[in-house]
Amino acid sequence: MKEYFDKELGTLLRESYPQPEHDAAFTRRVLRSLPARKSLLIRVLEFVASPWFLWLVIVALCIVFRSRIMESAAICVRSISSATLPDSDTLSMMIVSFTLFAFMLVTLWREAEE
């Protein structure tokens, strides 16, 4: 009897599995069954409600208040080096900045995971 496995595995598998022919009716069937896609307005609203919108707002705020943030950071560094507590305004500014920064990182991380 002819040798069964005298061929390369890929060839053997390809010969053993008939692949379907191109079927135009399949494409028509898919097109008929497509659900309606969301309109641009709905997509914009969804984006506004998503964490990404908040992310963009935070980035914009950071850019607008960059000099204030840098100033507060400098005060904080000075306070740490002199072992004193910065004033409450500076402290709250830094806490808010760090919280928002952490939120941005978490958003990016979760998105990357998905």
Partner 1 sequence: MEEKLLIAKVLLLNDEKAFAQLVERYQRPVRGFFLTQTGDPALSDDLAQETFIRVWERLGSFRQLSGFSTWLYRIAYNLWYDEVRSRRPMLSLDDAEGPPLEAEISLQAGQRDENCERERARWVRQAVARMDEPERTCIVLFYLQEQSTRAIARIMDMPEGTVRSHLSRGRAKLKAILENNVPR
Residues lying near partner 1 in the complex (CB under 8 A) are found at 1-5, 9-10, 12-17, 19-24, 26-27, 29-31, 33-35, 37, 43, 114
Comparing CB distances to partner 1, the nearer of 20 and 63 is 20
Query: In b/e form, how buried is each residue of 82-106, taking b as 16+ CB within 10 angstroms?
Result: eeeebeeebeebbeebeebeeebee
Residue 11 CB, nearest distance to partner 1 (Å)? 9
Comparing CB distances to partner 1, the nearer of 63 and 112 is 112
